[in-house]
């Protein structure tokens, strides 16, 4: 360690406006230390005990992110500083080095104890100290509040989407169940009329057996919707056959029978089982019973859809899972897409391509779902409701790679370096908080030891999330 002359400190831009008394105080309070190439000057996470100013040589500033070093800057400009830069706040925050400084070649550093640096800042610049403290705590509080609001807004959007998606199958099940009761009563009445009309037990049993066979082979309520012309021809053919056999209201009865898979051949079997004279009553009963089967199929389909949506919601929230465990990225992405289905408009083409050989990734799955939500919502906004959204997974060495691409207008080149900056947004005022990508960055980089990158040009914007296949937590 050596001393430094006040005149040497005046040569540094950081101290050039200080008077002789203050320069002399700094020179007496601090010392000069020498470091060899690659030697650490301070280490991230250690107690912040000193403020460092470069006199000569070179510095590299790096941050350790889940075991991976990321270099923030490298410079040889005298006067650059680091270390206990927030010492003036005192013990209101945990005073630890937020980065690692390392010499890139033989280097001399002016070292000022953190307590003395804090004293100088507070006494020499009291107004600036208050302003800096206000900015620090204000930004910290604002970031926390907006972060929470961003999460609540995303939750509200997903809840509204899920409610909308649940409403359709729930309404279908409710309608079908209400109609099912009427059809069951009507079918029972028709069967009673058939028996009361003199049809013996043997013929009734034959008709019931035929109904069971037709119900088991019926194509279901949606199968006839594929070709409207073919359906119309089938209804006309059956209606004509029923007319020829004297069945009242033949063309009113035909659509329901055709929808259940009944044609002239099956109607002839009914006639043979029930008798020509009771054909109309038998077909009326058969139509009612087959419609009951169709309504049951609709209810089963609707409740199955509800179950699938709830499974997707549970998968998305990960409420029944351990916070950190191996996760299937394809399942996470699909659950997120299900939750966002309402936002994906009819003019958006969705393309997914998942690597079937990609192993599960150790992850905080619910947090990754928030990343996918942010990236997909941003992509949909960028496309303005029309375009192609492409989502893929792949393996690149020791990393799993998820790509979310859109065909929107792209991100201006000047903004690419700022998209992950807190509170930065390209959306109009009131439409974006500027924290979605910042949150995503922190989840991917800080929580998972991964990386998130962006490349953009008009018509092709790609966000690439890289996650280590070996856990970083």
Q: Residue 195 falls within a domain, yes or no? A: yes
**The CATH number of the domain where 409 resides is what?**
3.30.565.10
Clarify whether residues 297 and 374 are in a common domain: no
* CA-wise closest residue to 440 among 472, 465, 405, 410: 465
CA-CA distance, 17 to 11, in Å (whole number)? 10
User: How high is the pLDDT of residue 1?
Assistant: 60
For residue 412, what are the contacts with CB-CB under 8 A and spacing of at least 6? Answer: 426
* DSSP letter assigned to residue 87: G
Q: Residue 436 falls within a domain, yes or no? A: yes
Q: How many CB atoms lie within 10 A of CB 220?
A: 14
Q: How many CB atoms lie within 10 A of CB 437?
A: 23
Over its length of 473 residues, how does the chain's per-residue pLDDT go in tens digits? 668 888 999 999 988 889 999 999 999 999 999 999 999 999 998 999 999 999 999 999 988 654 567 778 889 999 999 999 888 888 888 888 988 999 999 999 999 999 999 999 888 888 887 787 777 777 777 667 666 666 666 566 666 666 766 777 787 788 778 778 777 777 777 767 666 666 656 666 666 676 666 665 544 433 444 467 887 888 888 888 888 887 887 777 788 788 777 788 888 877 777 777 677 777 777 777 777 777 787 788 778 777 766 765 665 555 445 577 899 999 999 988 887 887 888 899 999 999 999 999 998 888 898 899 889 988 998 898 899 999 999 999 999 999 999 999 898 887 777 777 665 565 554 444 455 788 888 889 888 889 999 999 999 999 999 999 985 44
How distant, in Å, are the alpha carbons of 114, 162, 221, 241, 261 from that of 168?
Answer: 64, 10, 17, 38, 26
CA-CA distance, 65 to 466, in Å (whole number)? 14
Clarify whether residues 285 and 328 are in a common domain: no
Clarify whether residues 37 and 170 are in a common domain: no
Task: For residue 361, list its beta bridge partners.
Answer: 327
Biggest CA-to-CA distance, the chain: 123
Q: Residue 144 falls within a domain, yes or no? A: no
Q: Which of 104, 124, 144 is the last residue of a domain?
A: 124
CA-CA distance, 155 to 149, in Å (whole number)? 10
Q: Residue 129 falls within a domain, yes or no? A: no
CA-CA distance, 346 to 385, in Å (whole number)? 8
CB-based burial of residue 172 (10 Å sphere; 0-12 exposed, 13-18 middle, 19+ buried)? middle
CA-CA distance, 98 to 45, in Å (whole number)? 6
For the chain, the domain total comes to 3
Clarify whether residues 464 and 388 are in a common domain: yes
CB-based burial of residue 21 (10 Å sphere; 0-12 exposed, 13-18 middle, 19+ buried)? exposed
Q: Which of 70, 99, 124 is the last residue of a domain?
A: 124
User: How high is the pLDDT of residue 157?
Assistant: 61
Q: Residue 203 falls within a domain, yes or no? A: yes
SS3 content of the chain, % helix, strand, coil (to 5): 55, 20, 25
User: How high is the pLDDT of residue 267?
Assistant: 81
Label the pairing between strands 460-468 and 399-406: antiparallel
* CA-wise closest residue to 380 among 414, 409, 402: 409
Secondary structure, 3-state, 156-200: HHHHHHHHHHHHHHHHHHHHHHHHHHHHHHHHHHHHHHHHHCCCC
Task: For residue 65, list its beta bridge partners.
Answer: 68
CA-CA distance, 252 to 249, in Å (whole number)? 5
CA-CA distance, 30 to 26, in Å (whole number)? 6
* CA-wise closest residue to 309 among 342, 282, 272: 342
Q: Residue 151 falls within a domain, yes or no? A: no
CA-CA distance, 143 to 291, in Å (whole number)? 58
- Structural contact between residues 59 and 103, judged by C-beta atoms closer than 8 angstroms: yes
Clarify whether residues 120 and 34 are in a common domain: yes
Match 């370096």 to its residue by tokens.
417
- Structural contact between residues 107 and 80, judged by C-beta atoms closer than 8 angstroms: no
CB-based burial of residue 318 (10 Å sphere; 0-12 exposed, 13-18 middle, 19+ buried)? buried
DSSP E strands, 66-119: 68-75, 81-83, 100-113
Task: For residue 105, list its beta bridge partners.
Answer: 58
Clarify whether residues 329 and 270 are in a common domain: no
Clarify whether residues 327 and 443 are in a common domain: yes
Clarify whether residues 87 and 203 are in a common domain: no
Q: Which of 274, 309, 344 is the last residue of a domain?
A: 309
Clarify whether residues 192 and 246 are in a common domain: yes
3-class DSSP assignment, residue 339: helix
The size of the chain, in residues, is 473
Clarify whether residues 357 and 286 are in a common domain: no
Q: Residue 314 falls within a domain, yes or no? A: no
Please state the pTM of the whole predicted model: 0.46
Clarify whether residues 240 and 358 are in a common domain: no
Q: Residue 409 falls within a domain, yes or no? A: yes
Clarify whether residues 292 and 342 are in a common domain: no
Question: What is the span of the domain harbouring residue 86?
Answer: 6-124
User: How high is the pLDDT of residue 45?
Assistant: 87
């Amino acid at each position: 360690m050596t001393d430094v002359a006040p005149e040497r400190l005046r040569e540094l831009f950081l101290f050039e406006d200080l008077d002789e008394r203050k320069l002399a105080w700094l020179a007496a309070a601090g010392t000069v230390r020498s470091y060899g190439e690659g030697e650490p000057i301070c280490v991230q996470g250690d107690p912040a005990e000193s403020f460092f100013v470069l006199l000569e040589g070179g510095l590299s500033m790096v941050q350790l992110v889940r075991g991976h070093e990321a270099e923030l800057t490298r410079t040889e400009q005298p006067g650059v500083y680091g270390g206990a830069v927030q010492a003036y706040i005192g013990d209101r925050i945990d005073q630890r080095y937020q980065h690692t400084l390392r010499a890139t070649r033989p280097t001399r550093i002016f070292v000022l104890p953190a307590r003395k640096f804090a004293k100088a800042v507070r006494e020499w610049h009291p107004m600036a100290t208050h302003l800096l403290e206000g900015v620090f705590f204000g930004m910290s509080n604002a970031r926390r509040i907006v972060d929470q609001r961003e999460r609540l807004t995303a939750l509200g959007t997903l809840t509204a989407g899920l409610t909308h998606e649940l409403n359709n199958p729930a309404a279908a099940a409710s309608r079908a169940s209400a109609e099912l009761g009427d059809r069951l009563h009507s079918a029972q009445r028709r069967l009673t009329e058939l028996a009361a009309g003199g049809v013996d037990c043997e013929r009734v049993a034959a008709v019931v057996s035929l109904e069971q066979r037709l119900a088991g082979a019926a194509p279901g309520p949606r199968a006839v919707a594929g070709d409207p012309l073919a359906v119309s021809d089938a209804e006309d053919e059956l209606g004509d056959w029923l007319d020829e056999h004297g069945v009242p209201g033949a063309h009113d009865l035909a659509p329901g029978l055709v929808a259940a898979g009944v044609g002239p051949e099956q109607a002839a079997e009914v006639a043979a089982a029930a008798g020509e004279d009771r054909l109309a009553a038998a077909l009326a009963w058969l139509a009612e019973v087959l419609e009951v089967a169709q309504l049951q199929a609709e209810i089963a389909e609707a409740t199955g859809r509800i179950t699938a949506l709830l499974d997707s919601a549970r998968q998305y929230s990960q409420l029944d899972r351990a916070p950190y465990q191996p996760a299937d990225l394809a399942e996470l992405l699909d659950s997120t897409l299900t939750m966002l289905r309402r936002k994906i408009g009819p003019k958006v083409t969705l393309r997914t391509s998942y690597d079937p050989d990609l192993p599960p990734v150790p992850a905080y799955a619910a947090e990754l779902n928030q990343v996918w939500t942010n990236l997909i919502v941003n992509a949909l906004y960028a496309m303005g409701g029309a375009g192609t959204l492409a989502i893929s997974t792949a393996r690149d060495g020791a990393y799993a790679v998820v790509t979310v691409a859109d065909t929107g207008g792209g991100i201006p080149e000047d903004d690419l370096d700022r998209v992950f900056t807190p509170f930065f947004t390209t959306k109009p005022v009131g439409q974006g908080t500027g924290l979605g990508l910042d949150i995503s960055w922190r989840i991917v980089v800080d929580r998972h030891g991964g990386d998130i990158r962006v490349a953009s040009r008009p018509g092709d914007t790609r966000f690439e999330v890289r996650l280590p296949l070996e856990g970083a937590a």
